[in-house]
Amino acid sequence: MPIAKQYRIYYLAQSISIIAAAFDISWFFMGLENFSVTVLRNFIVKVITLICIFTFVKSEGDLTNYILILSLSLLIGNVTLFPNLQRYISRPIIKELRVWQHFRPALLLFIPQVATQIYLVVNKTMLGSMTSVQSAGYFDQSDKMIKMVLAIVTATGTVMLPHVASAFANKEYRKILRYLYKSFDFVTVVSVPMAFGLAAISPKFVPLFFSSKFIEVIPLMMIESIVILLIAWSNVIGTQYLLPTKQVRLYTNSVVWGAVVNIIANIPLIIWWGAMGTAFATVLSELIVTGYQVLAIREQVNYKQLFLETPKYLTGGLLMFISILGLNKFLSVSWFSISIEVFVGILVYCVLLIVFRAKIVNAARGLISK
């Protein structure tokens, strides 16, 4: 393909990330609930990466340098975790390893990961092939901002998974459900204002952060912000509940269906609306994943308790969204204006939670009083 030849040097630079993935052992420390090692590593690597970007990336011609810095930082960051293994494991005895015993469970976990990557990457690939590289670039920038916000929301999955797995191993089933309800409530109260807030400030944020050349990103970000809430929910149900309770098949089915719907929906939607169609297809696929998981656990959970506070959060988020859009008409495009909108949005949302007597408010007061 002409496009593949044109960007061959970039593919080669990014291929280092594939090698880096083979050295990723962060899951080991997460399983031991030793998060300090990975957090410290990530912080140091990201600081060094930022310094390298400002040092070696000066113009558009330095794109290869930029890709190499990101890829190498990922590889170096993963390799630096290996010295910490000495505290936990010794040299393995090859004859005593039971590789095939763990092959099938690992394969079952591998399938949803492949499916997830397919519908994460296929959007941009199909968009670039069917329309233009520019359209794929606009969608990619929107997608990156959404994923950055999601990293904050889905961080609870990394923390909660070992706790739920431990409770399941000890047959503490009530404790598992208690974890599920609390975690679901927490991610909802956090993800709702993030989704509505990002959508509301995007008209001012995009031209300031990306420049006026990326105005097309605004509607994409407003549409795609919906997935922040959907992925937050699927992260709790899938990653924090289905996987640690050994319901991998249900998790796999949800992700595979999401990938299938995404590919099928992309074709007509891209033809009709280009990058906007890809954003709609992304929302639809995440809706399928989340909807499947919610239905899959219908006999295991109490829906009323699971979604007890959700209407309050959604109402608060919607009114916050309307208030920020109202401010948009009177404020100029500047970082100061965005700061005002963020402050007002947080204030409105928090006040509404108090007015609606959301239980999370009492929980927060209890923590403060301690």
Query: Can you give the pLDDT at residue 161?
Result: 65
0.75 cut: is pTM over it?
Answer: yes
End-to-end CA distance of the chain: 63
In this structure, what are the phi and psi dihedrals at residue 150, rounded to the nearest 5 degrees? -65, -30
Mean pLDDT, rounded, of the chain: 84
Planar angle of CA 361, 366, 370, nearest 5 degrees: 145
Pair (123, 226) in one structural domain? yes
98 within some domain: no
141 within some domain: yes
Query: Can you give the pLDDT at residue 35?
Result: 65
227 within some domain: yes
Quick one: pLDDT band at residue 5, thresholds 50, 70, 90?
low
Q: Is the CB of residue 251 less than 8 Å from the CB of residue 243? A: yes
Looking at residue 250, its amino acid is L
Pair (79, 126) in one structural domain? no
Query: Can you give the pLDDT at residue 33?
Result: 65
Pair (147, 243) in one structural domain? yes
In this structure, what are the phi and psi dihedrals at residue 224, rounded to the nearest 5 degrees? -70, -20
- Say how many domains are in the chain: 2
Query: Can you give the pLDDT at residue 156?
Result: 63
Does residue 104 or residue 304 have the better pLDDT? 304
Which phi-psi region, left, alpha or beta, contains residue 313 (left: φ > 0; alpha: ψ -120 to 50)?
A: alpha
Query: Can you give the pLDDT at residue 220?
Result: 93
Pair (188, 310) in one structural domain? yes
Pair (76, 156) in one structural domain? no
Task: Inform me whether the pLDDT recorded for 1 exceeds 50.
Answer: no
CA 224 – CA 318 distance, rounded (Å): 16
Query: Can you give the pLDDT at residue 108?
Result: 72
- Rounded average pLDDT over 167-191: 85
Query: Can you give the pLDDT at residue 160?
Result: 67
Query: Can you give the pLDDT at residue 20?
Result: 87
102 within some domain: no
Query: Can you give the pLDDT at residue 78?
Result: 86
- Rounded average pLDDT over 67-74: 89
Q: Which of 71, 91, 111 is the last residue of a domain?
A: 91
Of all residues in the chain, the percent with pLDDT exceeding 70 is: 92
Pair (283, 140) in one structural domain? yes
Lowest model confidence (mean pLDDT) among 60-74, 118-132, 175-189, 280-294: 118-132
Task: Inform me whether the pLDDT recorded for 369 exceeds 60.
Answer: no
99 within some domain: no
Task: Inform me whether the pLDDT recorded for 368 exceeds 60.
Answer: no
113 within some domain: no
In angstroms, how far is CA 247 from the centroid of its own chain? 21
Pair (215, 127) in one structural domain? yes
100 within some domain: no
Contacts with 109 (C-beta within 8 Å, 6 or more apart), sequence order:
243, 248
Query: Can you give the pLDDT at residue 158?
Result: 62
Q: Over the stretch 207-256, which tens digit does the pLDDT of each residue have?
A: 998 888 889 999 999 999 999 999 999 988 988 888 888 888 898 899 88
Pair (54, 145) in one structural domain? no
49 within some domain: yes
CA 277 – CA 266 distance, rounded (Å): 7
Query: Can you give the pLDDT at residue 203?
Result: 92
Pair (310, 222) in one structural domain? yes
Q: Residues of 304-320 as b/e, b for ≥16 C-beta within 10 angstroms?
A: eebbebbebbbebbeeb
Query: Can you give the pLDDT at residue 348?
Result: 95
Q: Over the stretch 102-146, which tens digit does the pLDDT of each residue have?
A: 777 777 777 777 777 776 778 888 888 888 888 888 898 888 888
In this structure, what are the phi and psi dihedrals at residue 212, rounded to the nearest 5 degrees? -65, -15
Pair (46, 137) in one structural domain? no
Distances (CA, A) of 209 to 10, 201, 227: 24, 12, 21
- Rounded average pLDDT over 93-100: 73
Lowest model confidence (mean pLDDT) among 23-27, 67-71, 286-290, 306-310: 23-27
Pair (84, 124) in one structural domain? no
Pair (223, 356) in one structural domain? yes
**Domain, as residue range, for 38:** 1-91
Q: Over the stretch 316-363, which tens digit does the pLDDT of each residue have?
A: 999 999 999 989 888 888 999 999 999 999 999 999 999 998 888 776
